[in-house]
Structure 1
Amino acid sequence: MTTDTAVRPPPSGASGSDFARLSRRIVDAGLLRRRPGYYAVRLTVVAALYVGGWAAVALIGDSWWTLAVAGFLAVVFGQVALLAHDAAHRQVFRRRRGSEASGRIAGVGVGMSYGWWQDKHTRHHANPNHEELDPDLNPDLLVWSQDQARAAKGLPRLIGRWQAFLFFPLLTLEGFNLHVSSVKALADRSLKHRMLDGVLLFAHFTLYLAVVFWLLPPGMAIAFLAVNQGLFGVYLGSLFAPNHKGMPILTGEDRPDFLRRQVLTSRNVRGGWLTDIALGGLNHQIEHHLFPSMPSPNLRKARTVVRRYCEDLGLAYTETGLITSYRLALASLHQAGAPLRHAPAKEDS
């Protein structure tokens, strides 16, 4: 099991001359250099918002206005998760120890097993949108291709019929799913530092629930949990949905070279500085997949280099607006579920 989520590109000889030439341009432009000042400010701001949000819960207390703070904290949780993502990719610290320590601290802030997520995300980066190799395409609840739909049973078969319409409502459960998957992963003996992850998860759940039920009456506490975790799930899912959903899905022996494997399966989202903040730089998904350890504030500059290079190669470089990216993702989900809608009635019995 690999644990290096930086997923550095293969050496130039393995990745082909096309990627080697692009990589040299990126290095010459200084875009792989660390940005300690940027991350110092970002970490400080997010930490202040996190602490401030909980302070607001304590100050407002027994009032339904506390639910507005629950929504605010859901967004802050998403930003904490994005920091864990950057740390895991060694965008923040060059060395493994600092990256893992900061990633685990951020992970415990939202109730996520850093080790489980790191392994899963590493495998995604190595084979994005590959039906058999990308864990993000496992048909656990939704089906991502018509082949998966034809083989679906249980919940995926039931939900898959209308999954495009159910997608955003189901995202309200994504925060809960993150916690459940993190806890389930602790049973995997091959997962490194699983005991540490288990202690941190237990500490998060204990402190989180204790604070909420101590500061709020039971009914309001339950409402707080529903709003906070539900909106956190929606935000988390909305961060990742535009990136690959609706892009080509690879199967079997489909293994283009590194450059094409990353570019052709990824989609960028156009926008300004607000989009960069809201999506944590993941709106520059093509550049992120090509250079995972590149600090997120450098991705926008890298976009100009990568896009021009892809145009010179005649390589499709996909970039849309945010709403269009969701529309394409939902259209892909609807198309994937078509065999379930058109299946004979006797197959559903």
Structure 2
Amino acid sequence: MSAPRPLRPTLLAPAYWPEVRRGTERVIRLLADGLRDAGHRPRLVTGHPGARRAVAEEDGLEVVRLPRPPAVRAAVSRGRIDEHAAHLPGVVAELVRDPGDVLHALYPTDAVAAALARRAHRLRGRRVPLVVSNMGPPDRRWARERRGRTTGLVTVARRADAVTTLSAFARDRVRAELAVDSLVVAPPVDLDAFAPPADDVRHAAPTILFASAPESDAKRLPLLLEAVALLRDRDPAVRLVAQAPRDPAARRALDAQPGVATVDLDDHAALREAYGRAWVTALPSRDEAFGLVVAESLACGTPAVACAGEGPAEIVVDDGVGRIAAAATPQALADALCGALRLAGEAGVRACCRAAVRDLGVDAHAARWLALYERLLADAAR
């Protein structure tokens, strides 16, 4: 019997490394790793600030970078169109020429481009499956702010072969706000890259890590700073290590706060070291679909703290791996952090934390996607 034909899924996102390094870009890289290791040939079609189409093979992922022409960028700005739409004319042409086996869009406007290309193939008699992944918990207000978002999130999603979200929290939000049903596919964690330190040593002082974008209002760093100040009133040794803001003045202002130090965590090795040495990782964000930093922290054996009613609360499943703040207030967050700091010193906590995310590994994640892709391809062939 011949071996199964390698699949060639086409992933679609508005930007990629090194231009942008957010959770979505990390998920793309890990999904590509899992697909590659399983013998498949993923491709990413994305935008870039360059003047020409560029193609590169990056660790088994074919990356097609399409330009954002100045005239299109100007039209986007004038027309209240989503800022990530400037490369989309090139995306449609690229996908009409070569859609791969499955179209998998990870942003609403990319979903619109994929739907246009899929329609062209359907007119030629070919059915190309389309998957739309919501990488956050979008709501109707956000969707209406820019043209293209509602179309991608609602019109295209309802016609797609599958829609996915990152958590039950995100699934319920999308259903309530947009009347779109979805499957939950949690993002992957690189359990090889993120692991407890070999020497099992944490910082001498009680250290809280904030490994998210400090510029994002949704991450609620000011709330965390207030909570840390309350903790330091009880124990002045408590310190906060935070991802450095990109703006130098903002970084200096953060470093000037008592007990606070900023570090550059863009490098995987530095991030792993920070997780492993910290006592607790804090993510007090709102509208958080999943919270990859929480899962990565647990993989490194470090407890985590998040707020109730958000996606990360589905990862911090019990008091053996962290704490959930009952409310988004400085006192409630300080109380949760205090409990997690005590937990960090207990025997066996690293093993408990890591066990909580063992099902989120890259291979298992890729296998879930392959099963979905293959089901959709079988349906399209009928």
TM-score by length of 1: 0.28
User: Normalized per residue, which structure has more strand?
Assistant: 2
TM-score by length of 2: 0.26
